[in-house]
Amino acid sequence: MSFLKKLSLKNKEKTELPIEAVPSTFRHHPFTELNNYSYYFENERRLYKTLRTAVPIIDAAINKTVRLIGNFKVKCNEEYIEKELNDFLRNVKVNATSSGINSFLSLHLDELLTYGTAVGEIVLDHELNCVSALYNASLSDVELELSDNPLKINIFRKTKSTEKVPVKNKDLILVSTLNAEPGCAYGKSILKGLPFVSSILLNIYNTIGLNWERVGNVRFSVTYKPGNSNGEKIYTKERVMQIAKEWSKTMHCKDSVNDFISVGDVDIKVIGADNQVLDSNIPVRQMLEQIVAKMSIPPFLLGLSWSTTERMSSQQADILTSELEFYRNILEIPVSKICKTFLRLNNYPEDFDILWDNINLQDEVELANARLTNAKAKEIEKRLGEKT
């Protein structure tokens, strides 16, 4: 072999391009904060807000819990005091657009469940003679600290310059905490522990969406294999361009159905048709079970049609009732403070009882059936007594 021939082969070997791996594009779900979460002050509250937006079942569980709390009435010894107090609670101004203490308690409990802490304020008039409104404060505008006295906390108001200004009238501030740890001024959210589980759930949903884009939106692979003759190899590029043009015309035709006809060895396959989509029922249900267990809401109230017996459903309803009673006990503290402030400003005695409505309609039905049974029993006893 001549020297020039060896050199040409050597140069040809050097000019060959190596095979490179090209990464495919992958889009993450938009709630990336759930993948890199941290439990620190403002980050924690922003994390829980994102969590409610990202996982609708969590937002639905909190909203249902707030609505299931129900209404209440205040019972006083004097009838005219009771009437004035209940009228005040029904018509008191709340924030800028609402009225009634139920509106205030709904937002108060929503903040309490989401962030573990809720802050409100009793707003007096200019002359400090009566309660003019109730205000739900944002936790971003307030900071709580433990004082030297372990039985009291210091409440500060944040300004635009990030300075902390002590609140003057602490008696008018309503602070509620949920499962607060010893030595901590803030409570714990019921969503704590769910970001990790929710991030896995969102990754599954995001993968399902990507798989449907790849498999559901059908893409075709058209491969032309030229023959061994020199004539076909010479015009390979021209035939490939012609096949691509006619195939594009066939696929974009919407008015009629066209057939694609070609001469030669042309192979047409659907990209991703042989791909097996993973079954997501089991992992998704496992993640949802963790969320439902944390939220303490029966699955059937959230639209989850899991197989449950009638006895199991009644037990879940009893557990939900105990949870709602627990939240009612927490809400009675700000309600009592509001009522005492109103009675004190009107020189009325601070004697009252808070009477909550029954939690659900099933309790009302059972009570009605019990009264009906007792009435029938008394009627039977009365008839038996008349016969004797």
> Could you tell me if residue 220 is inside a domain?
no
Sign of CA dihedral 212, 214, 219, 223: negative
> How large is the average pLDDT for residues 144-161?
85
Higher pLDDT, 382 or 257: 382
User: Hey, what are 153's tokens?
Assistant: 């906390």
Most confident of 38-42, 322-326, 381-385: 322-326
Strands 131-137 and 93-94: parallel
- Structural contact between residues 107 and 63, judged by C-beta atoms closer than 8 angstroms: no
- Secondary structure (DSSP) of 118-171: EEEEEEE-TTSSSEEEEEEE-GGGEEEEE-SSTT-EEEEEE-TTS-EEE-S-GG
> Could you tell me if residue 225 is inside a domain?
no
The proportion of the chain whose per-residue pLDDT surpasses 70, expressed as a percent, equals 76
Domain count, the chain: 1
> Could you tell me if residue 61 is inside a domain?
no
Query: Model confidence at 36, in pLDDT bands (50, 70, 90)?
Result: low
> Could you tell me if residue 154 is inside a domain?
yes
Q: Which residues pair with 176 in a beta bridge?
A: 118
- Structural contact between residues 119 and 175, judged by C-beta atoms closer than 8 angstroms: yes
> Could you tell me if residue 137 is inside a domain?
yes
Maximum pairwise Cα distance, the chain: 137
Q: Which residues pair with 353 in a beta bridge?
A: 75
pLDDT tens for 345-378 read 999 998 999 999 887 645 555 666 777 788 888 8
Task: Give the pLDDT of residue 226.
Answer: 78
Most confident of 29-38, 213-222, 261-270, 276-285: 276-285
Task: Give the pLDDT of residue 348.
Answer: 92
Whether pLDDT at 122 is above 90: yes
> How large is the average pLDDT for residues 36-40?
57
Distance CA 91, CA 103 (A): 10
**What burial class does residue 182 get, using C-beta atoms within 10 Å of its C-beta: 0-12 exposed, 13-18 middle, 19+ buried?**
exposed
Task: Give the pLDDT of residue 209.
Answer: 80
Task: Give the pLDDT of residue 361.
Answer: 46
> Could you tell me if residue 53 is inside a domain?
no
Higher pLDDT, 83 or 25: 83
Task: Give the pLDDT of residue 377.
Answer: 86
- Structural contact between residues 302 and 57, judged by C-beta atoms closer than 8 angstroms: yes
Please enumerate in sequence order all residues whose Cβ is within 8 A of that of 31, keeping only pairs 6 or more positions apart, or say none.
50, 53, 54, 202
Q: Which domain holds residue 339?
A: 69-190+296-375
Average pLDDT, the chain: 80
Task: Give the pLDDT of residue 30.
Answer: 62
Whether pLDDT at 251 is above 60: yes
User: Hey, what are 82's tokens?
Assistant: 């009771």
Task: Give the pLDDT of residue 326.
Answer: 92
pLDDT tens for 44-93 read 888 888 889 889 999 999 999 999 898 999 999 999 999 999 999 999 99
> How large is the average pLDDT for residues 234-243?
77
Specify the long-range contacts of residues 94-98, CB closer than 8 Å, at least 24 apart: 94/133, 94/134, 94/135, 94/136, 95/133, 95/134, 95/135, 95/136
The proportion of the chain whose per-residue pLDDT surpasses 90, expressed as a percent, equals 30
Query: SS3 of 335, please?
Result: helix
Task: Give the pLDDT of residue 331.
Answer: 95
Distance CA 288, CA 204 (A): 12
Distance CA 321, CA 84 (A): 31
Task: Give the pLDDT of residue 224.
Answer: 77
Whether pLDDT at 315 is above 80: no
Whether pLDDT at 311 is above 60: no
- Structural contact between residues 154 and 144, judged by C-beta atoms closer than 8 angstroms: yes
> Could you tell me if residue 336 is inside a domain?
yes
Residue type, 81: I
Higher pLDDT, 112 or 38: 112
pLDDT tens for 201-236 read 888 888 888 777 766 666 777 777 777 766 666 777
Sign of CA dihedral 175, 179, 184, 190: negative
Alpha helices in the chain (DSSP H): 3-15, 41-54, 56-68, 79-91, 101-115, 194-211, 230-234, 236-251, 281-295, 310-345, 361-387
Task: Give the pLDDT of residue 29.
Answer: 62
Residue type, 246: E
> Could you tell me if residue 90 is inside a domain?
yes
